Structure formats: C-alpha cells, structure tokens
C-alpha cells in the first residue's frame, strides 16, 4: 500500500513539474494530457483506497516514510495516515480536481498561460493531498502553507491585471494572520507533549486537562483551550471564517476553474478537515467549541446576506461558499464532526458544479459576468441550465438532493446540542436556509429566465464590469452551449450532487465509518441522538417535511421568483426608497465595513507609519544625520586637516620640534 499512497501524491506533482518546466516543449496538448493523466491516476487509486478501507476493512495505515531530521530526540518526518477520513478526502479532492482539469481545456483554450495554469492546478492537488494524508503536524503545516502558496499564484494568475494582484496579495496577507496563530498552536503542542506525531499527541493530550498557562499577569488560561483556539485561528484563515473571510470573494479574480477548485475541494476545506482530525483535542475544551459555534453561525448568516446584493455571477457563488463553510463550522462547534465532513463532501460536488456552470455562462456571454446583462439563457444553454439548476437545488437543500441530507442533518444536530450558544446558532442556520434559497434562485432567475438582456451586453467594453474579456475576444455574438470538455464535467458533477447524499448518509453520519477516527464525548454526541430516530434516507426525506427548513427554502425560492421575475420593482423599492432597506443596502454594499477596516484602517495605518519612519527615520535620521551627516563631518574635518599639509619643509621641522619638546617635557616633569 505504501507504493500506492506515494503514487497518489507524486503523480500530480510530477505532472506539475513537467508541465511547468517543459510546457513549451510538450505543447498545450502535452500539458493537459499529462496533468489529467496524473490526477486521473490519483483519483482511480484514491477510489480503490476508499473501497479498501471502508468496505474491505483494510487496517489504518500510519507510517513515517522519510525522516527529514532529528533535533534533540524530536523526529521531523514525512508520513501518511490513511484511514476512512483521509480516503474520503482524497477521493473528493482528486475527483473535483479531475473535473476541473478537463473543464480547463475548454475554458482556458486561448489563454497564453495555458501550460502554466495546468501546472499550477496539478500542484494544488498535490499540496492538498499532502495536507489530508499527513500523520504529523510538520507535514500538515507543509501542506497548509503549500495550498496557500499555490492559491496565491492562481488568484493572481492574470498578473497584468491590478485587481488580480491586489486580490492575491490580500489572500496572502490575511492567511498569514491565520497561519501565525496556527503555527503558535503547533508550537504549544510541541512544548506540552514533546511530539508532532498525531498518535503520540492524541495519547498525551488528556493529561493536559487542568493545566494552565499565564499569558497575562493574574489571568490563567487553560492550555487545551489555548491550543484549540490557536489552531482554529489557522482554520479561520484557510476556511474563511469571520473576521478572516475577506480574501475569499476577491479570489474570484482568478480564472473560473480555480475558483471551483479553491472553493469546493481544496484550500477552504482544509480548516474544516483539520478541526475534524483534531477532534480528540477539541472535545476536551467546551470553551473552544462554543467559540467555533458562534463564529460559524455568524459567518453562515451574515455572509449569506451579502450574496443577496451581488451582481457578479461568480461572487454570488463565492458568498454562498462563505455561508456554507459557516454551516460546516457550526457542525464542528456542536461536535457533529461527521456532519461537517459529510456536508463538506456533498458541498464539494454541487459547489464545483455551480462554479463551473457559472464559467460556462461566462464563456457563452463572451466573458461577461454581470447578471444584469443576462437573462433568458435556458433555451440557448440547455445543458448548462439543467446542471446549474441541479446544483442550485442541492445547495438550497431540496428534498432528495445531496445538500438536503447533509444540511438538514446538520441543522438537526445543532437543535440537539446543549452547548451555550447553540440556540443562537440554530436560529442563524435556519435563517440561512431562506437566505440561501433566495440568493441562489435570484441567480437562476436573473441568468436563465426573464427577458434576454444580453443583446447590447455581449462584447461590451465597459471595464467597470470586470472580466468580460479574459481571453482577448471582442465583438458581439449570440450565446450558445459550451463545448463538450466544459459540459461533460458539469454532467459528471451533477450526478453526485443528486445521489451521493442518500447513498452515503447512513454509514457516514449514523454508522461506524468514522469509528476510531473521530472522537466525540458522550455528552456532546448529538448525532447519536439523531441516530435513534433514523430509519433510512426515504424516512429522513419524509421527516424533513415536518420541520421548518424545507418550507423556509420554498419561501426563499418563491420570494426570489416574485421579486426578480414578476415584480422587479420590489427590489428597487427596498434598495433605494424604503428607508430601512436603504440602510441595510448601505451596510451590505460596504460588506459590514471589514474591507474598510483592513484596507483603510490597518493597512492605511501601516502605510502611514511606514511613511513616517521613511521620512523622519530613514531619510532624516539615518540618511540625513547618521550616514550623510557623518560623511559631511568627516569631509569638514578632512578639509581642516588638509591645512596642516602645506608642503613646506620648515612647517614640518617646526611641528617635529614642538612634538619633541612636548615629549621631553612629559618625560621630565609628568613622570
């Protein structure tokens, strides 16, 4: 099995290296064939590994493959931990990545950076695999930073565009904040357990209960709570939880395929996976769980509201990702780790589907992304429309679709929790159901239904509307369905978006799929409470009609249809005439002030301090007084010293005589 695991990880890496270094020699076809073959091989082997562990009962693989160094008895190793959680994540990552690779052939066909893009997305897959397969914190941190690095390269892929450069720098800096906390958490684990290996840490961590640390004089902190919160700060950055969420919407500056890969299966799921993997630690701190619960519920609710006002088709889906990540985080907060991972899996399929469907629309619209310039596209893009509708139904939790099983189970788990803050979280996630349905079908109705608004829009050159022309096309044309390399991944992603929830719900949520992998304290076992009333997927669908979530979703769809199909003046009235609506619109347009706080506040203050230090410190003090001032004084002294060098012999003889007289006087009288 060791060779199989190495092949899964190294196949995308080797393909990325060859495509990146020898892209010109192998050409466009060579680059996409090689990288697709590498990721396809990884997916095939990952599916086999999942079958072996989940069905055939192959034992957990936990071994070090390479010792990087030994420092004072601490072994720094590269190793794999492959259990059911790892195998599930491997399959999700490689399948979505494979679909994105195939899709990219059509989306990026005329881009001059074609080979470079394939190299990057294959490298992204390698980085995420290293993260999910790690068996120690050193390798986890390597994968953690590697996905951050490659996301920086991909968000700023079109590096000649100032907005892309700003977006990738924003993502890089925000994630550095989260990663600093993450690194401190790993350092604390090393200090208190003496190891970086998961197995050894999980064995040693219960002994830290009751252990405290004094960070502020007179204030004692639980060591376990501190470790959990520091690790979660890293998760807040990677999985874009408030207030470290601001980078994710701007990541839309990258090409659409990478939006799907980042938002669906790789970088943003890293934090959710990490907390689930660290469940033996988090179960020992209710304070940390409560913090996670409240942050997740705030993200789910408030980020969903921002999706309502977006006009860029990709940004609507981006804010949807933020909201759904909040749902997963809420599940982590109530110790429903299995529900969080289950929603992560189903969400990966339908969110990748929605992003790629949005990309297909963008291609058809000549790279126009403003939904106000679309409409009536369902006749012209039938495959894109049907698959996008499937993704939308899965996202809102329509009964029978995959999102229904994962989201409703998650909401029920929150309702069963007795942790402080669970009531607030329950209201937030239920409200989010209506909000999600509203902005999702607002997108469907504005893009695919209603009058055709694209006649004057296609080929529009107004730069204020962004990315309508990523590949240099100009001139109007009638929208038509995308080529098969674009629509085939949509169809293949639509299939699990419908069926994967019903097929896997029982073993993942209520079975023993995660037995021995995820730890849940008996007092926190909310899924155990639900399991007593679970009688199969069909009964779960019937039960769904007895709760409020289904009807809230229906109300959201109906409201969106009324506002954006039958009475568009309602939206205009609430946004511009109704005073509370105007206030809400003002707040939402400014994204709750986070961007202003970070850009004009923190970054502006940093630039002001830098300017002050530059002008007063560097230019005035260092350059002006120390460096240049010292040089000027030396020059002045040298000018005066030159007066002593007259060149006349009697001047030198006189100086020697005076010197000799002083020397003799010192020897005779002073000594």
Residues 524-538: tens digit of each pLDDT: 999 988 888 888 899
pLDDT value of position 579: 62
Mean pLDDT of 556-582: 80
Q: How far apart are CA 649 and CA 559, in angstroms?
A: 106
pLDDT of residue 473 exceeding 50, the answer is no
pLDDT of residue 461 exceeding 90, the answer is no
Per the omega criterion (within 30 degrees of 0), is the bond before 243 cis?
Answer: yes
What tens digit of pLDDT does each residue of 305-329 get? Answer: 999 988 889 999 999 999 999 999 9
Q: State the sign of the Cα–Cα–Cα–Cα dihedral 319, 324, 329, 333.
A: positive
pLDDT value of position 553: 94
Q: Which range, of 464-473, 555-564, 571-580, averages the lowest pLDDT?
A: 464-473
Q: Per-residue confidence at 471, pLDDT binned at 50, 70, 90?
A: very low
Q: Per-residue confidence at 183, pLDDT binned at 50, 70, 90?
A: very high
What tens digit of pLDDT does each residue of 260-297 get? Answer: 888 877 788 899 999 999 999 999 999 999 999 999 99
Mean pLDDT of 34-51: 95
Q: How far apart are CA 405 and CA 540, in angstroms?
A: 8
What tens digit of pLDDT does each residue of 443-456 get? Answer: 999 999 988 887 64
Rounded to two decimals, what is the model's pTM? Answer: 0.88
Q: State the sign of the Cα–Cα–Cα–Cα dihedral 317, 318, 319, 325.
A: positive
DSSP-derived pairing of the beta strands 61-71 and 74-82: antiparallel
- Biggest distance spanned by C-alpha atoms of the chain: 118
H helices of 196-285, in order, are 198-204, 223-238, 247-250, 256-264, 270-277, 279-282
What tens digit of pLDDT does each residue of 502-521 get? Answer: 999 999 999 889 988 999 99
pLDDT value of position 462: 38
Selected residue with higher pLDDT from 232 and 210: 232
What tens digit of pLDDT does each residue of 104-138 get? Answer: 999 988 889 999 999 999 999 999 999 999 999 99
Q: Which residues does 30 contact at the CB level (< 8 Å), separation at least 6?
A: 19, 23
Q: Give me the residue spans of the domains in the chain.
A: 1-55+79-135, 595-670
Q: How far apart are CA 65 and CA 5, in angstroms?
A: 11
Helix (H) or strand (E) holding 591: none
Share of the chain above pLDDT 70, in %: 94
Mean pLDDT of 188-202: 93
pLDDT value of position 375: 86
Q: Which two tokens stand for residue 193?
A: 């357990």
Q: Which two tokens stand for residue 324?
A: 């759904």
What tens digit of pLDDT does each residue of 224-237 get? Answer: 999 999 999 999 99
pLDDT value of position 232: 95
665 exposure class (CB count in 10 Å sphere: 0-12, 13-18, 19+): exposed
Q: Which range, of 44-58, 541-555, 656-670, averages the lowest pLDDT?
A: 656-670
What tens digit of pLDDT does each residue of 417-434 get? Answer: 889 999 999 999 999 999
pLDDT value of position 465: 36
Q: Which two tokens stand for residue 404?
A: 């229904």
pLDDT of residue 467 exceeding 50, the answer is no
Share of the chain above pLDDT 90, in %: 57
pLDDT of residue 606 exceeding 80, the answer is no
Q: Which range, of 129-133, 461-465, 466-470, 517-521, averages the lowest pLDDT?
A: 461-465
Mean pLDDT of 352-374: 90
pLDDT value of position 301: 94
- Length of the chain in residues, anyone? 671
pLDDT value of position 252: 86
Average pLDDT, the chain: 87
Mean pLDDT of 619-636: 74
pLDDT of residue 80 exceeding 50, the answer is yes
pLDDT of residue 210 exceeding 90, the answer is no
pLDDT value of position 541: 93
Q: Which range, of 339-343, 538-542, 546-550, 620-624, averages the lowest pLDDT?
A: 620-624
Selected residue with higher pLDDT from 528 and 643: 528
pLDDT value of position 67: 87
Q: Per-residue confidence at 630, pLDDT binned at 50, 70, 90?
A: confident
pLDDT value of position 658: 87
Mean pLDDT of 157-180: 90
Torsion, Cα of 151, 587, 396, 279 (10° steps):
60
Q: Per-residue confidence at 580, pLDDT binned at 50, 70, 90?
A: low
Q: Per-residue confidence at 578, pLDDT binned at 50, 70, 90?
A: low
Mean pLDDT of 594-610: 77
In the block, tokens 């959990």 appear at 228
Q: How far apart are CA 374 and CA 454, in angstroms?
A: 5
473 exposure class (CB count in 10 Å sphere: 0-12, 13-18, 19+): middle
């Amino acid at each position: 099995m060791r060779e199989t695991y190495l092949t899964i990880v190294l196949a995308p890496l080797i393909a990325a290296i060859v495509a990146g270094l020898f892209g010109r020699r192998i050409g466009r076809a060579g680059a996409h064939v090689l990288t697709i073959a590498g990721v396809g091989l990884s997916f095939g082997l990952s599916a086999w590994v999942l079958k072996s562990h989940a069905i055939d009962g192959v034992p957990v693989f936990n071994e070090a493959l390479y010792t990087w160094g030994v420092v004072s008895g601490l072994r720094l190793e590269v190793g794999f931990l492959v259990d059911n959680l790892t195998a599930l994540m491997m399959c999700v990552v490689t399948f979505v990545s494979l679909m994105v690779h195939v899709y990219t052939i059509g989306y990026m066909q005329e881009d001059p950076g074609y080979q470079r893009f394939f190299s990057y997305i294959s490298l992204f897959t390698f980085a995420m695999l290293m993260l999910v397969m790690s068996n120690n914190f050193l390798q986890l941190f390597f994968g953690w930073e590697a996905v951050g690095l490659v996301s920086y390269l991909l968000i700023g892929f079109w590096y000649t565009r100032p907005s892309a450069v700003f977006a990738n720098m924003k993502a890089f800096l925000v994630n550095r904040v989260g990663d600093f906390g993450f690194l401190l958490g790993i350092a604390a684990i090393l200090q208190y357990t003496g190891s970086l290996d998961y197995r050894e840490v999980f064995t040693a961590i219960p002994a830290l209960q009751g252990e405290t640390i004094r960070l502020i004089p007179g204030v004692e902190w639980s060591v376990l709570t501190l470790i959990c919160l520091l690790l979660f700060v890293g998760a807040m950055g990677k999985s874009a939880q408030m207030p470290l969420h601001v980078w994710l919407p701007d990541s839309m500056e990258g090409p659409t395929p990478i939006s799907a890969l980042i938002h669906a299966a790789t970088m943003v799921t890293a934090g959710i996976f990490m907390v689930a993997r660290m469940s033996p630690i988090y179960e020992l701190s209710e304070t940390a769980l409560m913090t996670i619960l409240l942050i997740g519920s705030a993200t789910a609710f408030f980020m969903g509201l921002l999706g309502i006002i977006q006009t860029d088709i990709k940004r609507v889906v981006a804010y949807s990702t933020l909201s759904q990540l909040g749902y997963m985080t809420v599940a982590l907060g109530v110790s429903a780790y299995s529900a969080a991972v289950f929603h992560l899996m189903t969400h990966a399929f339908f969110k990748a589907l929605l992003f790629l469907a949005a990309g297909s629309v963008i291609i058809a619209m000549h790279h126009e992304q403003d939904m106000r310039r679309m409409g009536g596209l369902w006749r012209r893009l039938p495959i894109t429309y049907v698959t996008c509708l499937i993704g939308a139904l899965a996202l809102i939790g329509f009964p029978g679709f995959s999102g229904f099983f994962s989201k409703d189970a998650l909401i029920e788990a929150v309702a069963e929790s007795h942790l402080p803050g669970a009531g607030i979280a329950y209201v937030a996630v239920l409200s989010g159901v209506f909000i999600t349905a509203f902005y999702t079908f607002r997108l469907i109705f504005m893009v695919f239904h209603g009058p055709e608004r694209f006649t004057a829009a296609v080929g529009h050159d107004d730069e204020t509307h962004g990315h309508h022309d990523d590949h240099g096309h100009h001139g109007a044309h009638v929208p038509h369905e995308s080529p098969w390399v674009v629509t085939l991944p949509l169809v293949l992603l639509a299939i699990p978006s419908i069926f994967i929830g019903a097929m896997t719900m029982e073993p993942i949520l209520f079975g023993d799929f995660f037995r021995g992998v995820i730890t849940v304290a008996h007092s926190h076992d909310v899924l155990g409470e639900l399991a007593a009333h679970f009688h199969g997927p069909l009964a779960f669908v019937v039960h769904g009609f007895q709760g409020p979530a289904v009807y809230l979703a229906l109300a959201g769809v109906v409201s969106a249809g009324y506002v954006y199909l039958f009475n568009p003046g309602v939206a205009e009235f609430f946004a511009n005439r109704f005073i509370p609506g105007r206030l809400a619109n003002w707040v939402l347009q400014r994204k709750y002030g986070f961007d202003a706080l970070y850009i004009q506040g923190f970054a502006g203050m940093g630039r002001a301090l830098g300017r002050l230090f530059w002008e007063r410190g560097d230019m005035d003090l260092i350059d002006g007084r120390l460096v240049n001032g010292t040089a000027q004084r030396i020059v002045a002294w040298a000018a005066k010293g030159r007066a002593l060098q007259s060149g006349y012999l009697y001047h030198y003889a006189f100086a020697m005589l005076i010197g000799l007289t002083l020397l003799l006087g010192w020897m005779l009288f002073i000594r």
